[in-house]
Amino acid sequence: MTKLLIVESPAKAKTITKYLDDTYTVTASVGHIRDLPKSNKKAVDIEHGFVPHYEISKGKEKVISEIKSLAKKAEEVLLATDPDREGEAIAWHIIQACDLENQKLKVKRIVFHEITKDAVNEALKHPRDIDNDLKEAQEARRVLDRLVGYDLSGLIWKKVRYGLSAGRVQSPALRILSEREREIAAFIPQKYWVIDADTETDKKEKITFTCAKEPTEEKEAEEILKRGKEAQWKIVDVKETKGKRAPKAPFITSTLQQAASSRLGFSPSRAMMLAQKLYEAGFITYMRTDSTTISGSIATHIAEVIKKEFGEKLYTPRVYKTKSKNAQEAHEAIRPTDVLKRFAGHNDAEKALYQLIWERTVASQMADAIVLKTRVIAEGGKENPEFTANGSRIISPGWLLADPRARGEDVELPKVQAQDNLSLLKIRSEEKETLPPPRYSEAGLVKELEKRGIGRPSTYAAIIKTIQERGYVEKINRSLKVTDTGEVVSSFLENNFAKYVSDTFTAEMENKLDAIADGQATYTKILEDFYAPFAKDVESKQDTEKITTLGDAEPHHKCPLCGGDMIIKLGRTGKFLSCKKFPECKGARTLEGEAMEGPKETGENCPECAKSLPVEKQGKLVERMGRFGKFIACSRYPKCKYVRKDPAQEEKAKTGVKCPECAKSLPADKQGEIMERRGRFGPFFSCSNYPDCRFNIKSKPTGKLCEDCGSLMMEGTKTIPERCSNKNCPNHNPHKKIK
């Protein structure tokens, strides 16, 4: 009996083929094969029960044809797409698009949460029909997102700017970031003084104490310093307490994204991409889960590893309670499929993520770490506040043996007793200011979305990626900063659609989608209850004023052309000051007040227009100012999209370092120079001969060559000033080399 097994990924198909005999043919759908049309509102028939009208995704005709052909040769078709709602929907789409229902063959669904031989063979023993509730829950999410996005985006095009958009879950995420920006803007810093005292015991051991009170007046700080210098210092009290540090639960999707971001510097989308590859290669369990469960069989193997590597006494079996009330308990936490395998992955990034997962999994079943915390209190003057010194050290590492990066640094204080005398070496004060709340990092935003019930584990990476790609948020170092455009769009939605971008509404909608999956609610009812009032609210805002005008500029900012008053406006590159008389007067300034010149003609004709237009209709090349500086463009833009960099900007971007790749094959006069460029993910450095030479590095070159491999060195961090640009060289990641 021949069987056709269909998965989503070619990599997964390759792995599974190794586990099955010749009676099975394994093929891949390569993800989704059907979707709603991108730009057609008729994609959803609202009047007849929100019926979606799907179309074959671009380029998938060949995949469908191949599946149909293979199905004709099989007696049974097994759909083994991912074990979640999206996977269930993909399986249903394969049946529909390939017309498998009308063929005389058996079509069944199987699921497995890890790609191992045992898991696949066990799944084959339990085939089932498509779970229509799961399929409809995913379909409801897709249709809901389309309706919200289409209607709100259309309104934003009219009221803000063409080409912008809004989303059901992305907009609440943008609102959270915008609220933090407003908190930062409204923050008023307060001065305070930190007072430290360096002291020495009779045994010549040094201890630094910090004043328990942080005075907010300089005079008070000076008085504490004065009394401290005159005082006889001594120990007042010593407190030692033992504490426990329990291991954290095994990874779920959100905690994996957070740990990968904070420890490895991976964005949520990159972490999920790497986890997907580890899953498809059979190294880890399914990476989209909100369950912290570990199966009994794997727990036995974890126990073996702990007893063998760390000692029998450190094994402590634990069961973690899943926080999400809608978690699918049939799923497991993200863990290695074979915990006996300490290292796995096809490249450094995959290996680093696998190691993170292995450490968290093993540590979760180990004994607590015992920490000794010490607090020493000193007296530095009768009228002065007390001074304290705090220390901590691990006296029994427990689970930290498996996860050493979670240890932190020991701060051990000398052994002292109450009434011991101290010699004051130096007492000093430092003026500081209170800081505003920090911007969210990607990991911080994932944590916040999870806490508020916005989205689901599988959507967090897509949410963060989308708001960055739309230009609403930019990543500065590791912080997410809302752009001017993002601020305006968020304010518009908050002012006009506060209900739909609120935490409560978004979380409640997720619960309703879960209810469809559980068979407790119907697809049509949920969408009807939502869409009728929503459409009415959107219609009621059609007559609101356009909001690219953000208010009056400060009175001292006058139009550079006519001297009139100015207003703050939102343009394609952010906020600027425009003359109130626009379009009669086109005077403009930057927010800082510098005059902005309009497009300057260069005197050249556009080479792109010359290819297809008569001379009288050809555009002229003009200088324009963009988000990343000056550039040259056609005066007919956007009808003609010819663009090139301004030569002056090009010269400014050069680093003075010759391209090492060009040096291998080109004469000196034709070799390129490394120059700074900007891409969708920020600045990078590449050869001026691009695209003929594609040499590029992430950081600015230092001009030196690596002593080990001869590659170009580039700027590093504060702790390691430079590192090799060759990823395969030990000097590329000196932290590992030092370790």
Helix 460-469 vs helix 268-280: angle between axes, to the nearest 10 degrees?
130
Residue 331 CA to residue 187 CA, distance in Å, equals 44
Question: Do residues 457 and 252 touch, judged by C-beta distance below 8 A?
Answer: yes
Going by the DSSP 8-state scheme, the letter that residue 336 receives in this structure is B
Residue 148 CA to residue 308 CA, distance in Å, equals 55
In 3D space, the residue among 736, 704, 580 whose CA is nearest the CA of residue 725 turns out to be: 704
Going by the DSSP 8-state scheme, the letter that residue 647 receives in this structure is H
Q: How many CB atoms lie within 10 A of CB 203?
A: 9
Kind plus residue range of the DSSP H or E element containing 107: strand 106-109
Residue 592 CA to residue 554 CA, distance in Å, equals 11
Encode 104-120: b = buried (16+ Cβ within 10 Å), e = exposed: ebebbbbbbbbbbeebb
Residue 658 CA to residue 674 CA, distance in Å, equals 6
Question: Do residues 620 and 602 touch, judged by C-beta distance below 8 A?
Answer: yes
What are the phi and psi torsion angles at 673 (to 5°)? -120, 140
Going by the DSSP 8-state scheme, the letter that residue 564 receives in this structure is -
Residue 386 CA to residue 368 CA, distance in Å, equals 33
Token digits for 213?
A: 């009170």
Sign of CA dihedral 693, 695, 696, 700: negative
In the chain, how many H helices and how many E strands?
Answer: 18, 31
Token digits for 727?
A: 């990823």
531 counts as catalytic: no
Encode 327-342: b = buried (16+ Cβ within 10 Å), e = exposed: bbeebbbbbbbbbeee
CB-count burial class (<10 Å; 0-12, 13-18, 19+) for 8: buried
Give all strands (DSSP E) within 438-587, no chain letters.
473-476, 479-482, 549-552, 566-571, 574-579
Type of residue at 262:
S
Distance spanning both ends of the chain, measured CA to CA: 56
Question: Do residues 193 and 344 touch, judged by C-beta distance below 8 A?
Answer: no
**Number of residues written out for the chain:** 739
Question: Do residues 337 and 117 touch, judged by C-beta distance below 8 A?
Answer: no
Type of residue at 664:
K
Q: What radius of gyration, in Å, describes the C-alpha atoms of the chain?
A: 31
The catalytically annotated residue of 24, 150, 279, 286 is 286
Residue 504 CA to residue 162 CA, distance in Å, equals 30
Name the one residue in this structure whose structure tokens are 């960099």: 645
Token digits for 86?
A: 């999206």
In 3D space, the residue among 245, 244, 249 whose CA is nearest the CA of residue 364 turns out to be: 249
Residue 110 CA to residue 123 CA, distance in Å, equals 6
Question: Do residues 130 and 138 touch, judged by C-beta distance below 8 A?
Answer: no
Q: How many CB atoms lie within 10 A of CB 44?
A: 23
What residues are annotated to the active site?
286
